[in-house]
């Protein structure tokens, strides 16, 4: 037994007062005259016995009465734990990721968890609640009730280590407080396994919420498989993580217009195909009618009107092979002799080809440095017997090695770096038995530092990339090489030009680093925005003379097709979708691996915390006993003569 006010126990010393009074019988004597001495002796004898009994009973009841009163004021209590009077800090992690949309026995997992938190925890208790995208620190449920009731699902997923690190930072550094961390989640399998926090000063409680249905069909991705004169073949990939489904409806929209509808039967995964017109802009949305998770039932994509890439060839040699590669359906190809070059045209290009220049003037080197610094690309094709100093001066702008000397011997181009991004999707497999192109003379490279793409049989590079520059080590004219007749010429030059303008993909995934270019000029103090309904996002943007490179990652957070706005002009459209990693309803085995931390429900967690803080107050009993002894004393005084 313990006391809230132990200092009041000193009042027990007051018990000495009735003891002294009774022992010394501090009272006045009254004289009564008697004429019969015999009668006096009899009365004295009887009174002495009854008086002694009454005196001791009265003393005992008064002592007990006073003792119970003092103990009642000291407020005695008992407790199951020694930590009942320590200050407590409580941090809740509430998982609001999309997998928490799954239905439990009492509704959606996250919404049911919110109701349990609001019901079980006291309204005025100070606590901290963190989610994947919000923090409510040192507040009360009364203050954030509406925020919790309106808590949205989040596409932002904290991995378990990051979540526990964030939660641990919410606690104070006071070593005297009891720290309780309650993790409320479905514990879906993500990258890496779940491991509990290593801090022994934090009491971790795991509340695993379980869905009643593990079936989920979802749209995984889309791609274009084929384009012809009239149509685009769009592949839609559907996955299912549960039992097989019959007659699952799927609809295709262009904007708000329904353009196609079908139904499928699926076991685990399948592909369906839609035809789209090639001559119009597509703002696509695919809708799947599945009753479990809702976030992955829609998939957005868009196909913009094709933007042509600006290519300028600066020539001192024939450029007809370039004209055949850079056709007008995809490129704005222009050419100019070096002697008649208009330098103001450079800033409007996406890629510039230096086609066998003998000498590169300093003015052109300066202009190209500024051009590539703003995101432009260049292709350098040397001539026979070039001015090495001018070329090497240009190379220093791109941290490239230097041309050493001209080697006049025939060598074959035998090595293709199939893993290089330039050839991504070009080859189905590595090719070993094709007719190798050859050159009659080439430049050796000193202190090679670039990224090799094509190599000679002697190990020297034929084509390298360094920064925004692609550099050939030999002239490409027909007298020197048959490379222009090789199957490599078209994908090499075509893909280099395609890299110079990062056109938007069919779609992007929210939460990943996404980069694309838009052809627009932004006035000073203006910015390009991504706009959808009432949502506005300002992406990171790097401008150049004729285009803008946009990068997004943390935003936008809502799926859909966004307008790219420069002031009030729609420059193009881009589509964003939620990451499908949460669509697969697979979970960590918390019950087996962390059974000592498991708690069955939120009410049970609250009860466990309360039981450690709960005290059994005894003061009421002592008040009752004091009253009982008071009544007993009154009865003694009244009925014992």
Question: What string of H, E and C letters represents the secondary structure of 538-580?
Answer: CCEEEECCCCEEEEECCCCCCCEEEEEEECCEEEEEEEEECCH
Q: Beta strand pairing status for 508-509 and 469-472?
A: unpaired
Residue 84 has pLDDT above 70, yes or no: no
The pLDDT assigned to 294 comes to: 83
Residue 227 has pLDDT above 70, yes or no: no
Banded model confidence at residue 50, pLDDT cuts 50, 70, 90: low
Please report, for residues 21, 30, 46, 55, the alpha-carbon distance to residue 27 in angstroms, rounded to integers and kept in the order given. 9, 10, 20, 13
Which residue intervals of 573-641 are DSSP H helices? Answer: 590-593, 602-613, 619-639
DSSP string covering 151-197, please?
A: PPPBS----HHHHHHHHHTTS-S-TTSEEEEEEEE--B--SS-----
What's the CA gap between 512 and 490, in Å, rounded? 32
Residue 313 has pLDDT above 90, yes or no: yes
Among the listed residues 538, 582, 572, the one whose alpha carbon sits nearest the alpha carbon of residue 556:
538
Among the listed residues 562, 569, 434, the one whose alpha carbon sits nearest the alpha carbon of residue 510:
562
Residue 251 has pLDDT above 80, yes or no: yes
What's the CA gap between 178 and 320, in Å, rounded? 79
Residue that the structure tokens 């353009």 belong to: 259
Q: Which of 62-76, 149-163, 282-296, 418-432 has the lowest mean pLDDT?
A: 418-432
DSSP label at residue 239 = E
The pLDDT assigned to 45 comes to: 52
Please report, for residues 411, 438, 473, 474, the alpha-carbon distance to residue 481 in angstroms, rounded to integers and kept in the order given. 10, 6, 12, 8
Banded model confidence at residue 433, pLDDT cuts 50, 70, 90: low
What CATH class has 508-580?
A: mainly beta
Could you tell me which CATH number the domain at 88-213+585-613 has?
3.40.50.410
Residue 25 has pLDDT above 70, yes or no: no
The pLDDT assigned to 82 comes to: 57
Tell which CATH architecture fits domain 217-303: Sandwich (2.60)
* Residues 167/93, Cβ–Cβ less than 8 Å: yes
Among the listed residues 552, 468, 567, 561, the one whose alpha carbon sits nearest the alpha carbon of residue 521:
567
Share the mean pLDDT of the chain.
83
The pLDDT assigned to 228 comes to: 62
Sequence ranges of the chain with CATH classification 3.40.50.410: 88-213+585-613
The pLDDT assigned to 40 comes to: 53
Residue 327 has pLDDT above 80, yes or no: yes
CB atoms < 10 A from the CB of 297, how many?
19
Residues 6+ apart with CB under 8 A from 158: 132, 166
Question: What string of H, E and C letters represents the secondary structure of 106-154?
Answer: CEEHHHHHHHHHHHHCCCCCCEEEECCCCEEEEECHHHHHHHHHCCCCE
The pLDDT assigned to 290 comes to: 81
Banded model confidence at residue 33, pLDDT cuts 50, 70, 90: low
Mean pLDDT of 364-388: 90
Sequence ranges of the chain with CATH classification 3.40.50.880: 309-500
pLDDT tens per residue across span 404-426 = 889 989 999 988 888 887 887 67
For the entire predicted model, the pTM comes to: 0.63
Banded model confidence at residue 562, pLDDT cuts 50, 70, 90: very high
Q: 286 exposed, middle or buried (CB, 10 Å; 0-12, 13-18, 19+)?
A: buried
The pLDDT assigned to 211 comes to: 86
* Residues 108/101, Cβ–Cβ less than 8 Å: yes
Residue 43 has pLDDT above 70, yes or no: no
Tell which CATH architecture fits domain 309-500: 3-Layer(aba) Sandwich (3.40)
Among the listed residues 181, 227, 228, the one whose alpha carbon sits nearest the alpha carbon of residue 201:
181
Sequence ranges of the chain with CATH classification 2.60.40.10: 217-303, 508-580
Residues 6+ apart with CB under 8 A from 237: 219, 220, 221, 222, 223, 269, 270, 271
The pLDDT assigned to 12 comes to: 76
What's the CA gap between 625 and 632, in Å, rounded? 10
The distance of Cα 545 from the centroid of its chain, to the nearest Å, equals 35
């Amino acid at each position: 037994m313990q006391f809230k006010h132990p200092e009041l126990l000193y009042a027990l010393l007051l018990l000495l007062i009735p003891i002294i009074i009774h022992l010394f019988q501090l009272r006045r004597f009254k004289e009564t005259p008697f004429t019969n001495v015999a009668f006096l002796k009899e009365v004295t004898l009887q009174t002495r016995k009854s008086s002694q009994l009454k005196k001791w009973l009265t003393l005992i009841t008064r002592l007990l009465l006073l003792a119970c009163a003092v103990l009642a004021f000291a407020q005695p209590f008992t407790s199951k734990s020694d930590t009942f009077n320590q200050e407590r800090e409580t941090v809740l992690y509430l998982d609001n990721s999309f997998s928490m949309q799954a239905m439990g026995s009492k509704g959606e997992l996250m919404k049911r968890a919110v109701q349990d938190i609001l019901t079980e925890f006291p309204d005025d208790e100070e606590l901290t609640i963190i989610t994947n995208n919000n923090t409510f620190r040192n507040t009360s449920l009364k203050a954030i009730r509406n925020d919790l009731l309106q808590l949205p699902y989040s596409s932002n997923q904290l991995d378990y280590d990051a979540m526990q690190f964030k939660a641990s930072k919410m606690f104070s550094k006071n070593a005297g407080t009891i720290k309780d961390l309650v993790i409320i989640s479905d514990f879906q399998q993500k990258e890496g396994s779940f491991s509990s926090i290593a801090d022994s000063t934090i009491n971790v409680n795991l509340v695993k919420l379980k869905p009643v249905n593990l079936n989920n069909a979802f749209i995984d991705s889309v791609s274009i498989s084929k384009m012809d004169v009239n149509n685009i073949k769009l592949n839609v990939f559907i996955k299912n993580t549960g039992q097989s489904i019959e007659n699952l409806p799927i609809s295709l929209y262009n904007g708000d217009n329904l353009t196609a509808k079908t139904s499928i039967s699926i076991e685990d995964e399948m592909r369906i195909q839609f035809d789209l017109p090639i001559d119009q802009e597509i703002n696509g949305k695919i809708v799947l009618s599945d009753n479990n998770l809702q976030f992955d039932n829609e998939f957005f994509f868009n196909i913009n009107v094709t933007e042509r890439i600006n290519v300028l060839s600066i020539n001192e040699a024939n450029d007809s092979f370039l004209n055949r590669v850079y056709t007008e359906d995809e490129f704005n190809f222009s050419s100019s002799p070096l002697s008649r070059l208009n330098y103001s045209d450079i800033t409007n290009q996406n890629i510039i080809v230096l086609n066998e220049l003998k000498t590169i003037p300093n003015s052109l080197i300066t202009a190209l440095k500024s051009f590539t610094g703003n995101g432009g690309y260049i292709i350098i094709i040397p001539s026979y017997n070039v001015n090495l100093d001018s070329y090497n001066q240009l190379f220093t702008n791109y941290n490239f090695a230097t041309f050493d000397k001209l080697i006049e011997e025939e060598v074959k181009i035998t090595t293709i770096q199939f893993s290089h991004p330039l050839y991504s999707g070009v080859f189905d497999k590595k090719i070993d038995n094709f007719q190798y192109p050859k050159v009659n003379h080439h430049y050796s490279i000193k202190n090679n530092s670039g990224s090799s793409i094509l190599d000679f049989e002697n190990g020297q590079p034929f084509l390298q990339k360094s920064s925004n520059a692609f550099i050939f080590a030999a002239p490409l004219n027909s007298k020197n090489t048959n490379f222009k007749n090789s199957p490599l010429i078209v994908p090499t030059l075509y893909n280099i030009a395609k890299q110079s303008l990062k056109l938007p993909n069919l779609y992007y995934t929210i939460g990943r680093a996404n980069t694309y270019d838009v052809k627009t000029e932004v006035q000073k103090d203006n910015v390009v925005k991504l706009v959808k309904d009432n949502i506005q996002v300002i992406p990171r943007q790097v401008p150049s003379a004729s285009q803008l490179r946009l990068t997004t990652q943390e935003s936008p957070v809502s799926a859909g097709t966004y307008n790219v706005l420069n002031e009030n002009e729609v420059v193009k459209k881009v589509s964003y979708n939620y990451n499908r990693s949460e669509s697969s309803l697979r979970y960590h085995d918390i019950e087996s691996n962390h059974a000592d931390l498991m708690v069955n429900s939120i009410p049970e967690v609250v009860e466990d915390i309360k039981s450690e803080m709960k005290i059994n107050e005894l003061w009421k009993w002592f008040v009752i006993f004091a009253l009982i002894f008071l009544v007993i004393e009154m009865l003694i005084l009244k009925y014992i003569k």
